Structures are given as C-alpha cells and as structure tokens.
A and B are shown apart, each in its own frame.
Chain A
Amino acid sequence: MAPASPATFIDMRKHRVMTEVSRRALIKATGAIGAAMLPAGAAVETANAKGRAATTPAATSSFCAAPLPPTTYVFFNSEEAAFIEAAVARLIPADAEWPGALEACAPNYIDKQLAGAWGAGERLYRSGPWQPGAPSQGYQLPFTPAELFRTGLAAINKELARTPFAKMSPADQDGYLKKLEAGGHDLGGVPSDVFFAHLLESTLEGFFSDPVYGGNCGMVSWRMIGFPGAYASYYDLIDKHGIKLDRAPMSLAEDAHGHVHGNPGIPAYSPPNNR
C-alpha cells in the first residue's frame, strides 16, 4: 500500500478491540446474582482493518475492556499505524490478566503527540552543527520526534515490504524489535536503537500517562499497578502504613460523572498568566 502523505490522509477507522467479558469473573464476584443479570456475552469484535493483521489480545481478559474509542489517526498513515499498533502490542502485550499497550490506546497517544507540539520539536534545541557525540551527551540528531518516526518508519516499512511487521508471528516481531533495539542498523539516517528508544519511551508514556492525552484508555495501567492517578490528598491515609487502597484511579480531566474529556491539543507548557 502506498503510504499517503500525512498531511492529506486521515485514516478514519473504527478501531475497536473488545474482549469478551469474562463471565467467569463476574459470576464469581456476583455470587448469587448469577449469570442472568450479566450482559449476554458482549460482542467480540476484533478489528480487521485492511492491510493489518488482526490483533489478538488474549482471548478472555478478565478486564472488561470498554469498547475503545475509535482511533482517528492524524499523523500516521495506515501503513505506519499498522506497524505502531503491532509494535506496541509486543512491547507491552496483553495477557489474561491485563490489557497491553494496544488496548490502552497507546497508538492513539503516540499519534497525537507526534502530530502536536512535542512532535514538531518544541523544547528541542534545534541548531546545528550536528555531531554524533558520546552517549553521555544525549540526543544529538537533528530530527524532531515527528521526523524521527517518519524517517524510521519509512525505512522499516520499506525493508519489510515483503512481510510487513504486522503480518509477522509474534516471535518474529519480537526478534525484529530486538534487532532494532540492539542498534547498528540505520533507518534512513536514524540509528535503529535511537528509533527503538523513542518508540519504547512513547509506548510507556502512552501506557502510563493520564488518559486526557489519548492513551491509557480506561486508566488500565493505573488499575494494573494500583496507582490512583490525579488523586488529591493522602493526608488521612499516609500514616496507615501498608493499607491497601482499593479504589479506581481518576484522571485529571475527569468530570463528576467520571468521563474523561480527552484533549490532544493540550500544550506541554503552562500558558502564560495574562496579567
């Protein structure tokens, strides 16, 4: 599939990965209430968008994944998105207990970040001359994050034209990612280990950041680890040493009804106080 220019191509795709509500889990929890009250097997739909292998999260996640919001990609074209979705699913995979980065909408997060100010190189010192430098001198490439992903993905997708990443077996996908991670492989000017580091870091952010940024859907990662999120105050609890805090996490952009109002346009700097 010929990659379209990102400026003109918006991939409207209903990307819904629902896992079957684990009836076992609910029955166990509800006891006498019983199966009659349960939703009759919430639909299992695995999105099968063109050119992309169906992602197969673990068949019955006990986490009742809400139907994910459809991802509207504004930065990635469909080929790039296919790689990203498949890659994040390997970096942080789903299992029987917990969803992974794909179900947590990490691709959406990465897409919106790259399309926004960070992707365009905000807060990046962008003057040359450029020299590779020592590892202790940090990132020294001229690429903005958006350029880095574009360039790297173009090289990857070209290299894998015959067997796209998304169509590989999971084991082969892992092998390829490890190869990128190890470095020594040039992706159109982006060293593969630098690309991999950006990909991994973005995936982690997409997994763990506040859902207002379009990732961590349903705050799944926070539920997994027990992080309460943008919670206000532990004054009454901090001296109850060892207490198990069983409450759902909350987002910073949550209204009183628990709805998170996603805003991918939030800039990464505080607006100046107009005084």
Chain B
Amino acid sequence: MSFRRLGRRGGFHPPYTRPVGRVERSATRLLASAVAVFSLLGAVTLVQAQSTGREPDAKHGAVIAAQGTPAGAPPCAQCHAFNGVSDASGAFPRLAGQSAYYLADQLQEFAAGERTSAPMTPIAKALSPHDIADVSAYYASINAPFLPLKAPDPALVKRGEELAKIGSAERRIQNCDNCHGPEGAGEPPAIPYLAGQYAHYIAFTLQMWQQGYRKNSLDQMGVMAKKLDDQEIAAVAAYYQQVKATLETAQSHRND
C-alpha cells in the first residue's frame, strides 16, 4: 500500500528509515540503502499541496541552487554551497537536510517582509512560490558531511549541553531539546534542527531574537533569548555545532 507508511520523516530527521528497536543491522541496512537512493520529500509537499497541489521538484531546486533563476535570484550555492554545508565561518547557515517545510517557510517570510535580512530579502522576493518549494526540497534532501571545525572549549560545550538538555532552574529556562528534538535533531516539519548548525550562526540568530530584530517565530524564542547572557549563547551555540547527527538517509518519502 502506501509507501508513506514506512518509517520516514519530513525535513531533516534523525537518521533512520524505519522504526527499529534493537535492530538486526543487516536488514535495516538493506532497506535503508534502498530508501536512501531516492529522495522524495514529504514535508515540503505539506506546504505545497496547500497552495498549488503541485509536488516540489528537487531537481529544479538543484538548478536554482547552482545557477540562480532567470528572474534574477542568485545561486544559493554561492553562499550556502551546492551541498548546503555553507562554509566554516558560520556566516551562512547550514541548509543541508533542514526541514523543507521550515526552509520554505523562512523564504516566504523573507519575501513577505516578516523576516528581514539584507542578502536574503531580495533573493527570496525574486523566487516564485514554485522556486521556493523546489529549492527547499532540494536542500532538504541532501545528506552532507560535517566540516571539520576547531574543537571548542569543553567547558563551554558542557554548559551548552546543560542548557540544551536540562535547562536552567535558576533562570527559569526550559531546555532547548524540548522543542528542537533529542540532541537538537529538529522536529520537522516546523521545528528546525540545531545539531551541526554553525555556532556563529546560532549565536547570531539568538542575538537577533534577544535584541528584537527577528520576530517571525513564536514568541518563545525571544523570551528565551532574552534570558540568556552572552556566555550562555556562546555555550549553546558551541554545543550544537559539535553535535553531529549522522544521517543514514536524508529525507522522508512520500507515495503519491
């Protein structure tokens, strides 16, 4: 029957293709490789189906990523790399394997002015709704490695791990993993992964919430960012950058 019933997720997801407990590795691997070969995208269809009923086209998304669009959107790959890994500076967020729904949502909000960024706003405006769906689908489907990065200060990482996994009773901050999933793996469709995202980018984004510049998420993010001091922001950023969620397969699938 419907292939959608097999284990799969939308967007970036913890890496398993099927539900397993203590698993027989061989059988899982067989199925995993079968599934990994193709990358249909569940979550972005969630968005697309609502507006046009059209299935997103990841191949076209790859073209946009590589070449930009005739309407003038520059290639995403220039900043985010073709495989969505961006570069180690963290100036541009890692997109590889991010939830397609979330990527599309952010692009739509850049275009609509609900989220503002000098580079992204004109790019998003130059993308059509189909382009947005396609390029989101493309980046969501990528299973990309993690760049070797300088090892952060272990004490900082430890503090970040505490905030990420436990929270802070004194500051009345709930832990990040409550929403962002175990070890920051994300909870697609709507909640992005943090695991493996660049520390610089995480810290920057938290500051944007803290200062009130970014307003397009639920208010929770602003509240929590305001409760964190600079050291704590650096800590959670450092922790999440080095949490590498290994992916066996990139994406969810959907039977049509």
Contact = CB atoms under 8 A, between A and B. Distances in A.
B185 A28 contact: no
Contacts of B9: 247-248
Interface in B20-54: 20-24, 27-28, 30-31, 33-34, 37-38, 42-43, 45-46, 49-50
Contacts of A235: 190, 218, 220
B160 interface: no
Interface of B is mostly: loop
Interface residues of B, number: 59
Contact of A257 (B5, B14, B50, B180): B14
A42 B27 CA distance: 7
B120 interface: no
Interface in A36-84: 37-39, 42-43, 62-64, 66-69
B206 to A, nearest CB: 18
B4 A218 contact: no
A139 to B, nearest CB: 32
Contacts of A256: 14, 181-185, 195, 243, 245
Nearest to A247: B10
B8 to A, nearest CB: 6
B113 interface: no
B8 A248 contact: yes
B27 A67 contact: yes
A248 B7 contact: yes
B252 A247 contact: yes
Contact of A233 (B30, B43, B184, B191): B191
Contact of A237 (B13, B45, B190, B245): B190
Interface in A191-231: 211, 217-220, 223, 231
A217 B19 CA distance: 8
B167 to A, nearest CB: 14
Contact of B46 (A28, A231, A232, A246): A246
Contacts, number: 155
A26 interface: yes
A112 B178 CA distance: 28
A138 interface: no
Contact of B14 (A37, A246, A254): A254
B121 interface: no
B5 A63 contact: yes
A109 B18 CA distance: 20
Contact of A66 (B2, B20, B49): B20
Interface residues of A, number: 53
A29 B187 contact: no
B116 interface: no
Interface stretch (A128-136, A151-159, A169-177, A258-266): A258-266
A109 to B, nearest CB: 12
A69 B15 contact: no
B188 interface: yes
Interface in B219-256: 220, 243, 245-246, 252-255
B14 A66 contact: no
A246 B42 contact: yes
Nearest to B11: A247
Nearest to B23: A66
B97 to A, nearest CB: 12
Contact of A63 (B6, B20, B50, B183): B6
Interface string A67-105: 111000000000000000000000000001100000001
A262 B15 contact: no
A148 interface: no
A33 B37 contact: yes
B244 to A, nearest CB: 9
Contacts of A28: 3, 255
Given A33-B38, A39-B30, A246 B21 contact: no
Interface string B72-97: 00000000000000000000000000
Given A256-B184, A257-B15, 10 more contacts: A29-B2, A29-B255, A39-B30, A66-B27, A232-B178, A233-B191, A235-B220, A248-B13, A257-B16, A258-B16
Interface of B: 1-10, 13-16, 18-24, 27-28, 30-31, 33-34, 37-38, 42-43, 45-46, 49-50, 105, 178-185, 187-191, 195, 218, 220, 243, 245-246, 252-255
Interface of A: 18, 21-22, 25-26, 28-30, 33, 37-39, 42-43, 62-64, 66-69, 96-97, 105, 211, 217-220, 223, 231-237, 240, 243-248, 250, 254-260, 262
